Amino acid sequence: MIGIIDYGMGNLGSVVNACRFLELPAEIVAAPDGFSQCRALILPGVGAFGDCVRNLDTRGFTEPLRAWIEADRPLLGICLGLQLLFENSEESPGVPGLGILRGTVRRLPARPGYKIPHMGWNEVEIRRPGPLFADLPSRFHAYFVHTFFVDPADPACVAAETDYTRRYACAVQRGRLAAVQFHPEKSHQAGLTLLRNFARANS
């Protein structure tokens, strides 16, 4: 089973619906003791960085999540679920993230002609082909909704990039950990392909 983590801040409905459309065995996991029934996890996220960190702590997910990832068990982070993997965020100064990956979450810089937040379709360029991107072209379009982006300290983890006011990492991978800034569950065929690939790679 794929566990979709419910810590009170995720866009669970659309992720669940996408998994059901793909006929993937996925269920919402509302407490960390449910991890034992899962072969893979999805960490979605919507809202402010600091609020999400506090909700993970309050619901007891923080240390079990770190242990899951450190054991190289499969996890897919989506949107804020990507940002939470890093050490800190300019959105919530003084609030530490999970610290799984080194680096900072930064605010998209202002640029004439661009609206912040970045909302809508944009091109994703794959930098590190692999099972997560199987059957996808080297450049495809995905749906984004965000104001902050990840700035990894180690460029080797960057799996894909996009450009909006600046070029930045929109997907990272390390071992069986993967995370994307865009919303695959809202990205039509390309996003469904990515979700299917994650499930197949970790079946």
As given in the structure block, the two tokens for residue 192 are: 């469904």
* Integer Cα distance of 3 and 125 in angstroms: 28
Q: How many residues does the chain have?
A: 203
Q: Which of 79, 91, 118, 157 is catalytic?
A: 79
Does residue 185 have an active-site annotation? yes
Q: Which of 38, 91, 146, 183 is catalytic?
A: 183
β-strand partners of 125: 139, 161
Q: Which of 52, 118, 170, 185 is catalytic?
A: 185
CA-to-CA dists, residue 89 to 52, 108, 134, angstroms: 12, 12, 31
β-strand partners of 41: 3, 75
**Greatest C-alpha distance within the chain:** 49
As given in the structure block, the two tokens for residue 96 are: 């530490």
Does residue 183 have an active-site annotation? yes
Residue 64, preceding peptide bond in cis (omega within 30° of 0): no
Residues known to be catalytic: 79, 183, 185
